[in-house]
């Protein structure tokens, strides 16, 4: 028994042995074994220098896991958000470096352009000298001892092991270029810029009526753009297939916040499903409608939080969890009603309704079919409301504005 224990505790000497130890500790970490990462790191890197075999093993282990994660549908922003929620900044940094290294090894023609944009957005770009091992350079950049660096590596690997399969939003990096679908339409950046400007004004306004009126105007612009797009397609353009987009939410009150995403999605002819374990909502819609949903929802969450906090400054009940949960549920419910009304009014006032309505119905059917194929086992759940005062305050906050200009 004593000899077996000493053999298990012996420090590895080859990259293969280091890799086995790293992955074993990562599995323990993924399963919730406290201190597994730090204990293993102290055994593997007890001195003030990182063994070459350990640096090589970390690279190989990361490469193995990140490839699986990419095949399972995880995008750069998803990995960034998951890391922010589950590990510290050092392990999160190592995850993004591992992703950048993986994409950098692939032929550029096999990586969808959307991946490049997303990598840049989260800062997942190679910065290290390729001729030298990454791990020592990374440890020096973050001023970490070898044991601290290896602890972060193990925690990063453990996180990658826990990630489930997601809906594939963009083609998997490394797939053949001819498999990338043709892009028929791009997001109208000019339209989105106008919407962003309106929402920025809404977020900065100290007057709830003005903020909600500006949000309603943004909804009107988004609806008009969507109607213009479907009319162009009715004239003979090839329509795109529905697309998916994930929106990550911050705690607390995830259920109530996901309800707000749902009602905004519905007003914009999209479908949404919430993953409570990881805290994100997947929005499925026509072309750039999911991007519009994300933009509007993000702004409304800022406005709702401001109104909720302002309403609870002098009242202990209004600062309670039940009040805030009820406030957000009520706010989302009423905002959904008003956004749908704004969208319906815009559609009713649109030109050529005899051409528009059949095309809209066709698009909505495509979205529903795609959503059902992606999420065949969606379970509908209700959100609990326990504060009558919170419900009333939330509805009032969402109901103060006149939606007409």
Q: How far apart are CA 116 and CA 99, in angstroms?
A: 12
* Helix boundaries (H) for 13-145: 15-30, 36-44, 52-71, 76-86, 89-104, 113-122, 134-141
Greatest Cα pair distance in the chain? 85
Residue 98 forms part of a structural domain: yes
What phi, psi does 48 have (nearest 5°)? -100, 20
pLDDT of residue 405: 36
How many angstroms separate the CA atoms of 281 and 311, rounded?
Answer: 27
**Backbone phi and psi for residue 306, each to the nearest 5 degrees, phi listed first:** -65, -45
Q: Are 278 and 82 a contacting pair, CB within 8 Å?
A: yes
Q: Is residue 78 included in any domain, yes or no?
A: yes
| Residues 10/13/19/25 CA torsion (nearest 10 deg) | 20
Residue 248 is predicted with a pLDDT of 96
Please give the pLDDT value at position 316.
59
Same domain, 250 and 291: yes
Are 59 and 135 in contact by the 8 Å Cβ rule? The answer is yes
1 domain residue, yes or no: no
Say if 171 falls within a structural domain: no
Q: Let me know whether 326 and 251 are in one domain.
A: yes
Are 286 and 366 spatial neighbours (Cβ–Cβ below 8 Å)? yes
Length of the chain, please? 405
Residues sharing a CB contact under 8 Å with residue 123, sequence separation 6 or more, in sequence order: 96
Same domain for 201 and 124? no
Query: Which residue, of 149, 164, 179, is where some domain finishes?
Result: 164
Phi, psi (degrees; rounded to nearest 5) at 105: -80, -15
Q: Are residues 61 and 203 in the same domain?
A: no
Note whether residue 180 is domain-resident: no
176 inside domain: no
- Spatial CA neighbour of 67 closest among 98, 24, 23, 109: 98
CA distances from 113 to 37, 78, 322 (A): 36, 17, 44
pLDDT for the residue numbered 207 = 74
- Same domain for 133 and 204, yes or no, is no
* pLDDT at 91 (0 to 100): 98
**Residue 108 included in any domain:** yes
Dist CA 327 CA 391 (whole Å): 5
Q: Residue 245 forms beta bridges with which residues?
A: 283
Give residue 123's pLDDT. 96
E strands present in 114-265? 243-248
Chain mean position to CA 63: 22
* pLDDT (0 to 100) of residue 396: 60
251 within 8 A of 324, measured Cβ to Cβ = no
In this structure, are residues 257 and 324 in contact, taking their beta carbons and an 8 Å threshold?
A: no
- Asked if 377 and 253 sit in the same domain, the reply is yes
Q: How far apart are CA 289 and CA 242, in angstroms?
A: 9
Give the pLDDT of residue 226. 81
In the chain, how many domains are there?
A: 2
Domain hosting 266: range is 189-399
Pair (197, 153) in one structural domain: no
pLDDT in 10s for each residue of the chain, 405 residues: 444 444 445 778 899 999 999 999 999 999 999 999 999 999 999 988 899 999 999 999 999 999 999 999 999 999 999 999 999 999 999 999 999 999 999 999 999 998 999 999 999 999 999 999 999 999 999 999 999 999 999 999 999 999 999 999 889 999 865 554 544 444 566 777 888 888 888 888 777 677 777 887 888 888 888 887 777 766 555 556 788 999 999 988 899 999 999 999 999 999 999 999 999 999 999 878 898 899 889 988 888 888 777 755 556 555 677 888 888 888 888 888 888 888 888 888 877 777 788 888 888 899 999 999 999 887 776 566 555 555 555 556 555 433 333
Looking at the fold, whether 216 and 113 belong to one and the same domain comes out as: no
Helix crossing, 146-162 with 76-86: angle to 10°? 120
What pLDDT, on a 0 to 100 scale, did the predictor assign at position 5? 43
pLDDT of residue 381: 66
Backbone angles phi, psi at 301, to 5 degrees: -65, -40
156 and 272 in a single domain? The answer is no
Closest by Cα among 277, 274, 261, 260 to 85: 277
The answer to whether residues 142 and 234 belong to one domain is no
The angle that helices 321-348 and 254-267 make with each other, rounded to 10 degrees, is 0
Whole-angstrom Cα distance, residue 97 to residue 94?
5
Clarify whether residues 255 and 383 are in a common domain.
yes
178 found inside a domain: no
Q: Is 221 exposed, middle or buried (0-12, 13-18, 19+ CB in 10 A)?
A: middle
pLDDT at 382: 59
Q: Which of 164, 180, 211 is the last residue of a domain?
A: 164
Give the burial class of 341: count Cβ atoms within 10 A of its Cβ; 0-12 exposed, 13-18 middle, 19 or more buried: middle
In order of 257, 334, 350, 361, the CA distances from 277 in angstroms are 14, 26, 41, 33
* Alpha-carbon gap, residue 187 to 268, rounded angstroms: 15
Q: Rounded distance, CA 276 to CA 322, Å? A: 19
> Phi-psi category of 269—alpha, beta or left, where left has phi over 0 and alpha has psi -120 to 50?
left
- The answer on 225 and 138 residing in a single domain is no
DSSP letter string, 245-294:
EEEE--SS-HHHHHHHHHHHHHHTT-EEEEETTTTEEEEEESTTHHHHHH
């Amino acid at each position: 028994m004593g000899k077996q224990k000493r053999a298990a505790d012996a420090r590895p000497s080859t990259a293969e042995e280091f890799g086995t130890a790293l992955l074993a500790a990562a599995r323990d970490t993924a399963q919730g074994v406290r201190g597994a990462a730090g204990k293993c790191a102290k055994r593997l890197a007890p001195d003030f220098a990182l063994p070459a075999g350990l640096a090589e093993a970390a690279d190989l282990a990361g490469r193995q896991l990140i490839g699986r994660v990419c095949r399972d549908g995880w995008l750069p922003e998803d990995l960034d958000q998951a890391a922010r929620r589950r590990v510290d900044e050092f392990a999160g940094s190592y995850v993004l470096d591992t992703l950048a290294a993986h994409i950098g090894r692939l032929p550029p023609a096999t990586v969808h352009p959307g991946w490049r944009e997303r990598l840049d957005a989260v800062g997942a770009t190679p910065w290290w000298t390729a001729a030298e091992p990454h791990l020592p350079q990374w440890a020096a950049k973050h001023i970490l001892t070898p044991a601290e660096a290896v602890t972060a590596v193990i925690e990063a690997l453990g996180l990658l092991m826990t990630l489930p399969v997601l809906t594939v939003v963009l083609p998997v990096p490394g797939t053949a270029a001819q498999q990338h679908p043709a892009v028929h339409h791009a997001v109208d950046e000019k339209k989105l810029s106008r919407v962003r400007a309106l929402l920025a004004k809404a977020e900065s306004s100290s007057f709830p009526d003005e903020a909600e009126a500006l949000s309603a105007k943004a909804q009107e612009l988004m609806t008009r753009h969507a109607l213009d797009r479907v009319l162009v397609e009715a004239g003979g353009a090839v329509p795109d297939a529905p697309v998916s987009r994930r929106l990550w939410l911050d705690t607390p009150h995830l259920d109530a916040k996901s309800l707000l995403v749902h009602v905004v999605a519905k007003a914009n002819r999209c479908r949404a499903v919430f993953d409570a374990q990881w805290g994100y909502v997947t929005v499925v819609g026509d072309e750039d409608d999911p991007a519009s949903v994300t933009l509007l929802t993000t702004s409304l969450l800022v406005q709702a939080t401001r109104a909720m906090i302002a309403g609870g400054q002098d009242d202990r009940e209004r600062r309670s969890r039940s009040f805030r949960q009820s406030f957000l549920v009520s706010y989302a419910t009423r905002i959904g009603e008003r956004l749908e009304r704004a969208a319906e009014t815009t559609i009713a006032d649109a030109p050529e309704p005899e051409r528009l309505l059949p095309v809209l119905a066709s698009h909505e059917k495509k979205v529903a079919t795609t959503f059902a194929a992606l999420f065949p086992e969606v379970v509908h759940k209700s959100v609990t409301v326990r504060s009558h005062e919170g419900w009333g305050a939330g509805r009032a906050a969402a109901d103060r504005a006149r939606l007409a200009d």
